[in-house]
Each structure stands twice: as C-alpha cells, then as structure tokens.
Amino acid sequence: MSEDSTEAMASRVKHLRICFIATIFFCVSFSTFANPCEKMIRPVSEKKKTIFAKAINVHLNKQLGPSLNQTLFTDSTDIFEVIHYKQWYIIYISTRITDESYLVYSAAPNKSSRYLTYWAGSAIDGEGPAVEKWLKKDAPGIPPKLASCFAWHITDGRGR
C-alpha cells in the first residue's frame, strides 16, 4: 500500500470516528431534551370527550361544588387536553368558574367514582421535582412515568 493510500485510509477512519462521536452526542443530547410525555398526550374523539364530560360533571359537583357553593358545568368543549398512561388519566379542563384545572384519575373518568386530586394554577421552570413529589403523595399509585410527565409538562414543557 502506498503512503498516499495509507494517509487517505487514516483520514477516512478519523472522519468516521468523528461522525460516530457526533452521532452519539446528538442522540444523548436529544434524549435529554425529549418530551417525557411523548405518546401520552393524544387527541381524544368528541364522543369520548362527551362521555368524560358527563362523568367529570358529577365528580366536580360532588367534590368541588359544595366548597364553592355553586353548581359546576363542564361539557366536551371544556376538555382541553388528555394525558393518558396505562389506565391513568390527567385531564385538563375548564369549570367556567375556577382556574383551569388538571384532574387526576386512576381510571377513565366514566369508570371512576371521583378524581384523586387536581392541580390548578401555575408552576415555573425548575419546580418539576416538587410537583412530582406532590403528585405522588396526592395520587398514590400513580405511575412514576406519568408523574414525571405531568411535572415536566406544567413546568419546563409549557409552550413546547
């Protein structure tokens, strides 16, 4: 093998190593910033929203209505977002009276007698660990992956 072809081969090997390192770096960086809610936030049909809204109305009026001394009404247009993982649901709604809220269910709302807890208000970047800790306490048994998703979604993930 000539000296020129040895240098060309060494150059190609060096180039391949750099490409390999860059690819690894890109994959690790991308996974660090990836959305932990990927595939958990999905569109919900109008029919399912209507079914959920009927159940949510019952739950809100049983759990929250008395403390507000009001009757709450939610229909399918008041369901903005559904985060679903395994059998668990976190549903972002409007009550038309209170701040928009996330209701946490251990099963579909129409298969539940109540929501476990709710989140209303805001959180800022970096508060994710505190939100996750609160959620695990107030919704015992919530899958850690869903708790992490929710904490990220309302803090660092907002606007993405």
pLDDT exceeds cutoff 80 at 4: no
What does the pLDDT read at residue 25? Answer: 47
Tell me the pLDDT tens digit for each residue of 90-140: 999 999 888 999 999 999 999 999 999 999 988 888 899 999 999 999 999
Helix (H), strand (E), coil (C) string for 9-47: HHHHHHHHHHHHHHHHHHHHHHHHHCCCCCCCECCCCHH
pLDDT exceeds cutoff 50 at 29: no
Tell me the pLDDT tens digit for each residue of 46-76: 999 999 999 999 999 999 999 999 999 999 9
Q: Rounded to the nearest 10 degrees, what angle do helices 144-154 and 128-138 cross at? A: 130
What does the pLDDT read at residue 69? Answer: 94
Calculate mean pLDDT across residues 40-47.
92
CA–CA separation, 63 and 55 (whole Å): 12
What does the pLDDT read at residue 12? Answer: 63
Calculate mean pLDDT across residues 71-88.
95
Model confidence, pTM: 0.77
Mean pLDDT is lowest, of 14-18, 25-29, 36-40, 138-142, for 25-29
What does the pLDDT read at residue 14? Answer: 62
Q: Which residue is listed with tokens 């390999």? A: 20
What does the pLDDT read at residue 32? Answer: 46
Calculate mean pLDDT across residues 140-155.
95
